[in-house]
Chain A
């Protein structure tokens, strides 16, 4: 009987000690997790175009964390939806067409001789990628342009074009091979010999 009590007592004391240590460690070594909004924001393309219906990507990230659908960002397209789905552990759904369609990457180009220098495009640009001053010619810093389209509408003389960023030999990338499914009927490797015989 006594041994039982002693054993219980020892275990009790031990559990208290370990509990205290664990409790202390939890406070002392607490790791500040990346808040979910930041993680979502990091996935969004930061085009800041507002097509999702929010004034920028971060507000949409906040909205997503509050339960908005993840398929409202056309610039990000399916890749972003997939990444969000992975992050939030929800099902990847197709892009919501109401917010626009996924397009190839574009940048704005101002036809400079037609610009009247009204500065409206500067006010519209969410990332300050347009350079100019009142009554002076304006131009777009192509490297900074996110292709959000927001400067096109305000221009009173319609001198801003959205130009697709073409693939050059330096930005070109290798295609993915077609994979196995591409050749139906050749599941058995030796089938290819038959082909040669004909």
Chain B
């Protein structure tokens, strides 16, 4: 063994050491506590991830939590027992906050899991050994708990000149390392040798303060026995020589540059406790489950060092050291300089707890009141980091974060030397800690806001691109349709001369003129439509109206012309045997294509403004046209082969398959339309018109499907039907789930209301009943198709009926779910109000907002419109007894529910406003009461209707199946 030269560092203080108290007694080993509490975050970095579940039996040393990322650590059971809980418990933290902990109830057997020491550690690759140390849960035990393997890995970046073992233990009162060196000298040296093998430093130095002669002697003896080249450097006692950077300066004379780590200048520092833990892991196979801790302070009758299992509650240790609770005024975790006060003794020992100081009032008196800084410069003299504490204080007080950083605030090791010497008793360290937190927060906020900005901009760019693409597509389509219509024009004159050439009758002239007229009319129509579209895009309401009128007039004109043309064409080519037939066929096809295009355009417009009744009418008109044209076409194509002299036997077949194809396309088209409209409906579920439209589409779809079915054989037809039934089933299931969720929600609300003894109880109960009723209905419905679906598959025509029913049902359910959500919102608002102490009578004063009446008028309007179309599908589809009445009632119920929901939404909004702007309270409350009145009316009617409806509606369901 050799001694090393010792340098010195700037500043430092000599507080009373108070180390002898805890060294009078030998090392103690407290008994097992009734439970061990192991926080998942005992180290710097990510919290560990638990590997065990509540109720699991664990053995001593078993891994109970694994690392969660790079900067994280493992955790092991300190004793055998049962996992009692994994929950938030108060932890030893200056904030006094809780964190997730694994709680173990010891069984007292102390049964170890199988230990597998790393026999061949000096032949294994270093990476493997490091990984092994990580799995043993070893973290730096001197200060912050930095995972050891990470620190060792970092040390590989540069060749190490010095490997320093920190045994200085400069902080007053603490003697845990001293005791550890005395008790485990050989383990310490073996641990250091293992680490030295891993890091291969040029020199290994143990730095120890000269106030630990027994420990120094023990070390020297072991080292000289082993002929080790580890040096011991005895440094003079001065606080804070145990600070990493200070010890490095003491032992090497080198200063770690600001913002860098010791590893950057080829130095690695490890605490003695860590070295012993490394020894235990490698040579004994034991993970880190216990540590040496000093129990000291005037309030303890038997201050001493203990080897304590991690997770032991501090209260248990205080009892062990004979705590005098009358004397105990301040409980500190760590030493008096760098420790922090604990709010409760109910927190556990963790890997970094080196001392518990139970101080009496005399020992750690209330800090003296802060005075103004007198610029005496004593703090600057004391600062071991050569900072300018008074300057930092200035910037901290004024929150000049940038300047504080510029003055190297982050080099402050929070040693407290400056506070200790400050004649004005300024809690300087507390200011620095606060400022450091502020800076860190500001940095994180900057990172987050940068990210938010990036994402916001990316989203905007994407949306712009999408809009541009849409626009480009729209233009392309417009161009395409324009060229198509010009093609039609080209086709038309071509067809005309053909007809004229063969017959040269006035009929040909007529049709020519008609065609030209038609072309002009269509161009006009197109122009109008374009204007209309623009107007809609720019939301010029007046223009839209006039344009719509014009457009429909023009459409009528076009339709008239087309009819005339069709007539003329139909009559003209009659004398011509062969060519006209194919001509006509061609024309019919063109017609189909044309009306298809028109329809598509109108649908697009409709999609953009789904509430537009006229547009809808237009779409319906176009659809009819299209259907006519198709019918004509199919008739013609069916006729053509028959009348044609050159007809082969293959022709009719082709025609039939053609028609089949067309029918299929129809079905597909209608399906798409239906889906689109349903989507719109989902977005604005209260729109009666949309609902009517959906019903209409569904009917059309059914028709088309029926057509398709008659065209195809029985077998192929059964397939889509079966698919349909499956879809229905799925939908029903989803509905049921939604209804159930609603029930749950209302139940929750009910419970809450009961807790608060709210006057809303009755309404909520009523809602609960409603919701349950709904859920039951749906479940019944679900049960029904379950049994009927398979039987429904063989016939194509029977499938659409349940589909209709289920769809209507679904709409209702979605409406209801939304209505219920609105109800909940309203109640929440009211509850909030009540909590704020608003009295019920106040909320229920009287009056009525224009808004509500307007909304109601609109609702009534919608209802009136929605009534007939929504009711028709049921009538049309029902083959047995017509459930008109039931359907009507259901409609009414729906309406009432919507009314109630709307009223509630109104209440909700109003209450929110009330909460936001208390100054308008009176008028808002008047509005609220009015809305409430409406809601109650609606609900009363609703209950009545529902009571009346329960039985018939079930019959209805039955009948429809």
Choose among A57, A169, A178, A180 the residue that contacts B453 (Cβ–Cβ < 8 A).
A57
Per-residue interface assignment for chain A, residues 166 to 184, with 1 indicating a CB less than 8 Å from any chain B CB and 0 otherwise = 0111101111111110110
Closest to B433 in A: A174
| A172 lies within 8 A of B371 (CB) | no
Choose among A45, A120, A144, A169 the residue that contacts B451 (Cβ–Cβ < 8 A).
A144
| A65 / chain B contacts, CB cutoff of 8 Å | none
| A157 lies within 8 A of B817 (CB) | yes
Asked whether B458 is an interface residue with its Cβ less than 8 Å from the other chain, the reply is yes
A118-162 CB contacts (< 8 Å) to partner B: 118, 120, 126-129, 144, 146, 156-159
Closest to B817 in A: A157
Asked whether B431 is an interface residue with its Cβ less than 8 Å from the other chain, the reply is yes
Closest to A126 in B: B456
Asked whether B423 is an interface residue with its Cβ less than 8 Å from the other chain, the reply is yes
| B371 / chain A contacts, CB cutoff of 8 Å | 180, 186-187, 189
Closest to B821 in A: A158
Knowing A169-B95, A169-B97, A180-B370, the reply to whether A146 touches B452 (Cβ < 8 A) is: yes
Binds A, one of B437-445, B525-533, B695-703, B761-769: B437-445
| A116 lies within 8 A of B738 (CB) | yes
| B453 / chain A contacts, CB cutoff of 8 Å | 41, 46, 57
Closest to A178 in B: B370
Q: In the complex, A158 Cα to B453 Cα: how many Å?
A: 27
Distance in angstroms from A129 CB to nearest chain B CB is: 7
Interface residues contributed by chain A, number (CB under 8 Å): 43
| A114 lies within 8 A of B97 (CB) | no
Asked whether A51 is an interface residue with its Cβ less than 8 Å from the other chain, the reply is no
**What bracket does the count of chain B residues touching chain A fall in?**
35 or more
Q: In the complex, A159 Cα to B742 Cα: how many Å?
A: 11
Closest to A44 in B: B449
Distance in angstroms from A96 CB to nearest chain B CB is: 14
A46-63 CB contacts (< 8 Å) to partner B: 46-48, 56-57
Distance in angstroms from A115 CB to nearest chain B CB is: 10
Choose among A45, A158, A189 the residue that contacts B423 (Cβ–Cβ < 8 A).
A189
Closest to A192 in B: B368
Asked whether B661 is an interface residue with its Cβ less than 8 Å from the other chain, the reply is no
Choose among A57, A120, A167, A179 the residue that contacts B95 (Cβ–Cβ < 8 A).
A167
| A175 / chain B contacts, CB cutoff of 8 Å | 430, 434
Asked whether B685 is an interface residue with its Cβ less than 8 Å from the other chain, the reply is yes
Knowing A45-B449, A169-B95, the reply to whether A158 touches B825 (Cβ < 8 A) is: yes
| A169 lies within 8 A of B99 (CB) | yes
| A158 lies within 8 A of B370 (CB) | no
| B430 lies within 8 A of A174 (CB) | yes
| A173 / chain B contacts, CB cutoff of 8 Å | 434, 437-438, 440-441
Q: Which residues of A pack against B, CB within 8 Å?
A: 41, 44-48, 56-57, 113-114, 116, 118, 120, 126-129, 144, 146, 156-159, 167-170, 172-180, 182-183, 186-187, 189, 191-192
| Sample (22) of A-B pairs whose CB atoms are under 8 Å apart | A45-B449, A46-B448, A46-B449, A57-B456, A114-B741, A114-B745, A120-B683, A126-B456, A128-B455, A129-B455, A156-B818, A158-B822, A167-B95, A169-B98, A174-B437, A175-B434, A176-B431, A176-B434, A177-B370, A177-B431, A178-B370, A187-B371
Q: Which residues of B pack against A, CB within 8 Å?
A: 41, 91, 93-95, 97-99, 368-372, 397, 423-425, 427, 430-431, 433-434, 436-438, 440-441, 445, 448-453, 455-456, 458-460, 682-683, 685, 738, 741, 745, 814, 817-818, 821-822, 824-825
4 extra interface residue pairs, beta carbon distance < 8 Å, beyond A45-B445, A172-B94: A46-B448, A114-B745, A146-B448, A157-B818
Closest 7 CB pairs of A and B: A173-B437, A46-B449, A174-B433, A172-B95, A183-B369, A158-B821, A127-B455
